[in-house]
Structure formats: structure tokens, C-alpha cells
Amino acid sequence: MQSGLLNSLILIPLIAAIIILVLPEVYKVSFKWIALVAQALILISTVTIWTAFDSTKTDYQFIEHYEWIRLALGQNSLLSIDYILGVDGISFPMVLLASIVFLIATISSFTIVKKEKAYYTLFLLLCTSVMGCFVAIDLFLFFIFFEFMLLPMYFLIGIWGGPNKAYASLKFIIYTLAGSVLILVVLIALGMSHTDLFFTNEYKKIVYSFDYRLLADPVNIIKNSILSIEKPVYLFGIQARYLMFGLLLIGFGIKLPMVPFHTWLPDAHVEAPTPISVVLAGILLKIGGYGLIRISYGFFPDIAIHFSTTIAVFGLVSILYGALNALAQKDLKKLIAYSSISHMGFVLIGISAFNSEGFNGAVFQMFSHGLLSSMLFLIAGVIYERTHNREIENFKGLAKMMPIFTVMVTIAFFGSMGLPSLSGFIGEFFTLLGAFQAGNVPKWIPIVGVLGILLSAVYLLWTFQKMFFGTFWTLEEYKDKMIDLNRNEIIMLGSLSILTLLYGIFPYILFNITNPTISTLFK
């Protein structure tokens, strides 16, 4: 079925970016509205896909397939790369999350007044590449989108960021580019180790393909290839399949981010403008988790099970390290950045379980964290837009001056610490439940992982009490600026609050989409 809906997710922001680029500066007042309309259309397309999405199916839906590259590799082989799009129960929740986060970030971008043409063009190009990552079925196409998103994000931090923006943007691109190189090595090995049996018979020669559906089927592995299962190949004294899994773990672990490959994240968050922090935490980190589930576990399930304890330990270290660092922060935005590292650690524990509960919990945790982290960075942005200061010690008793803001902060903070009836509880509960039930993960790991929830309560409640309780006090120059939320801020934070409550009370809305696809992985 080639409905064009998935293509629209890529083309709408791309066309909007081109329109903004060619319009003269005299029309700069329209740039933000063009971007907003584009994001609204993307959300409409996503909801349309949702209404037609068949939750009983386990394979890809809304497939769009077009021939792209046919390249002869000598007389006996052919390289086949196609433009293939599709969504299933794992990718569609990420598409939905991206649609929500980018729309919220677009509204937040209305405060940007510097080089608006360049900003909105890069912002929309970033949206194009992110959407492409989640809907691409051909891994060559996936990598193009994955790699391209580095460029707009580099400039969005480097031009519109804070005082140390040059350092933060350079650190971001070096880390993520290094991860991309590792992933590229694996994708080449995968493509050259599998054959498309159908086209091989048609063309009477070996046809190499990057179609995920073919690569995920061991039947298509070429005998004596570098990723051969029957006759293992060794590189640098390590079995090639183990080495490739390790490269993917590091590559996507950088994006997640997984300790110790996380150090780029706090700097990027602190220096990035609020809407870019929202996109970075709300959706870009999820590409790391999505890649681990889709590619690392999809192609190397046997090796993933073998290293389950190692992956779970990485997750546990990320949870505790991120939480302990958050406890030590005085800057509100840096505290939230380290909390993101901690909460994404639950994703690693969930996937290490390699069972339905753990995987469902991991996808739900990514979705929930996307909503909650977007709220948290918007909250930091509200304070910063009014005062250009984010030091926690400089604000007390804000509840009396900003009651609506306080309600939104309450939902975001309690959701992040895993309060039942809010979405954060569901994701963390199922990741820990999956790990506890898994026979391949030591029981002490999910038990100790619960400390992450306790520590998140400590640093979030401390921050909440410090900034919002007691007699109102702030620096003299800020007192007249501490006014309650404006219309745009209420729309952004209010929408995310409603979604956090909705998915916390009715988690089956998401589980109905994810569970059929995930269940087939363990049959």
C-alpha cells in the first residue's frame, strides 16, 4: 500500500524549509508560521496513519517502495539499494513522539529572533532527517538520514547556543560522528553478507541488499561471508559477529547516551537554545534506543542475549551515575540533562531482559521520557527567558507568583520521578519487571536499579522545594519578571501535561501498538 502518508512526513518539512530559504527577508515574519503549519500537517498525517494502523499486524504497514540504485559489482554481483518506507509497532510510536515534540519545539521557537531564516530552515531539515530515520526500512537510507541530522543540529547549537556554544557543538558532532562511523562499518558488513534470494534468481547473480527485512532473516546470510553463522570469521582475534554487535552498541550508545559515552550531552543541553534542547532530549536521544532495538537486537539476537548482563550493567551505571550527578547540580538545565542520562538507562535495562515486558517497557520509557524531558526543558526555558539565569539557588517561593507554572512543574517533576498515574511510572515499572523476570539478567540489577527512582525523587523534590516553596525571593533585578505563563507556554506545557496523564492512566493506548510487533520477536 503506497498511500504517500509516510513520504509526507519527510517531504512536508523539506518543502517548508525550501520555501523559507527562497523567501526574501522582508517576509521573515512568516517564517515561524510556515514552520508551524508544516509541523501541524505532519501531526495530522501521523494521526491519519494512527487511525488506519492495524494493531493486529506484526509486520510493516504503509509501505512505500521505489527503485533507487542498481549498481553492477563485477560480472557476478549486483548492489540493490531502494527507497523503502514503512512503520510497525516499534517505529510508529517514535514517529508519533517526533510529531508531538517537533510541534511543541516549533511553538517554543517563536522566541528566536536571530537569523530566523537560517534557524527555521535548519530546524525543518532536522525534522526531515529524524522522520526519515524512523520510517526508513532500507538501512542505507536510514544511515543517510541518521548522518544528515548531525549537520543542522551542529549549526543550531553552534549559532543559537549559549556562551560556550562552539565547544558544545564541536563536542556533539565529534562524538556522534564517531558513533556514525562505527555504525557505517556494520551496515557495510551486513549489506555485503546478505543476498536477496528473489533478485538473485531473477538476475542470475548475487544481489546485495540493505532491505532490513532481508537482513534480519538468517536464511539470506551468504555462506563464508564475514557475518557467517555456520563458519565464524575472526577479526583482530574477535569473532566478527561479536565485534559488529559491539560497534553497534557503542555507536547507538553514544546517541542514547550510555555512560561512559555521554559526556557530550550535558554540554550540548546547557548551551543549546530551549527548543533545540527539547528536540535533543525529546526525540534525538530516542534514535539511539530505536537503533539498538531495531538493528543491534534485530540482526544479532543471539549475541545480544550473550551480553545481556553487560548491557544491563551499562544501564544500571547510567541510571545511578546520571542521578548522582543530577544531585550535585546547581544549574537547573544541567540537572535536567543528567536526569535524561539516568532515565534513558532504564531503556538499556529493558532491552537487556530480551522479553516482551522489557521491550514494551523500553519503548514506552522512550515515549514517556520524550514527553517529560520536553516539559522539563521548557520549564527551564520559562525561567531562563525571564531572567537569563538558571541557578536554582536564585529562586524561592515561585508558587505564589506563578501558580499555573507551578502546576505544570508538579506534573513534570512527579512524572519524572515515576509517580503512579503518570507515564513515567509505566515505562520504568515494565523495564524493571522485564529484567526481574529475565533468566539472563541477574536479579540484583533491577533491584539496585530501583535506587534510580529513589534518587530522582531526591533531586527533583529538593529542586521543587527549593524553588517553589516558602516566601517568594529572587534577585532584585528579577522580581518584576517572575510573571506566570503566557498563552504559548500554557499551550506547550498544558498539552504535554495532558499527554503525560493520558498515557499514565491508559498505557494500553501505546501497548496496543507495540505489543503485537514486539511479541513476534520472542516466538
Map out the domains of the chain as residue ranges: 307-523
pLDDT of residue 200: 67
294, 295, 415 from 210: Cα distances, Å: 14, 12, 40
pLDDT of residue 1: 47
Half-sphere exposure of 482 (CA within 13 A, CB side): 23
Instruction: Please report, in tens digits, the pLDDT of each residue of the chain (523 residues total).
Output: 457 899 999 999 999 999 999 999 999 999 999 999 999 999 999 999 999 999 899 999 999 999 999 888 877 888 989 999 999 999 999 999 999 999 999 999 999 999 999 999 999 999 999 999 999 999 999 999 999 999 999 999 999 999 999 999 999 999 999 999 999 999 999 999 988 877 766 667 788 989 999 998 888 898 888 998 888 899 989 999 999 999 999 999 999 999 999 999 999 999 999 999 999 999 999 999 999 999 999 999 999 999 999 999 999 999 999 999 999 999 999 999 999 999 999 999 999 999 999 999 999 999 999 999 999 999 999 999 999 999 999 999 999 999 999 999 999 999 999 999 999 999 999 999 999 999 899 999 999 999 999 999 999 999 999 999 999 999 999 999 999 999 999 999 999 999 999 999 999 999 999 999 999 887 6
| All cell numbers assigned to 141 | 537510507
Residues in contact with 155: Cβ distance below 8 Å, sequence separation at least 6, in sequence order = 118, 122, 169
Q: How far apart are alpha carbons 31 and 23 in whole angstroms?
A: 9
Query: Can you list the positions of beta strands (E) in 184-335?
Result: 206-209, 234-235, 238-239
Q: How far apart are alpha carbons 359 and 435 in whole angstroms?
A: 10
**How many angstroms from the chain centroid is the CA of residue 500?**
17
288, 496, 517 from 511: Cα distances, Å: 21, 19, 10
Nearest to 25, CA basis, from 121, 108, 111, 110: 121
- pLDDT tens digits along 52-95: 999 899 999 999 999 999 888 877 888 989 999 999 999 999 99
- pLDDT tens digits along 416-449: 999 999 999 999 999 999 999 998 999 999 999 9
The one-letter amino acid at 71: L
pLDDT of residue 523: 66
The one-letter amino acid at 135: V
149, 226, 409, 426 from 503: Cα distances, Å: 29, 44, 18, 9
% helix, strand, coil for the chain, step of 5? 70, 10, 20
Contact 64, 84 (CB under 8 A): yes
Q: Is the peptide bond before 257 cis (omega within 30 degrees of 0)?
A: yes
Model-wide pTM > 0.75: yes
Q: Report the run of H or E that residue 409 belongs to, with start and end.
A: helix 403-416
The one-letter amino acid at 148: F
91, 123, 397 from 463: Cα distances, Å: 35, 31, 12
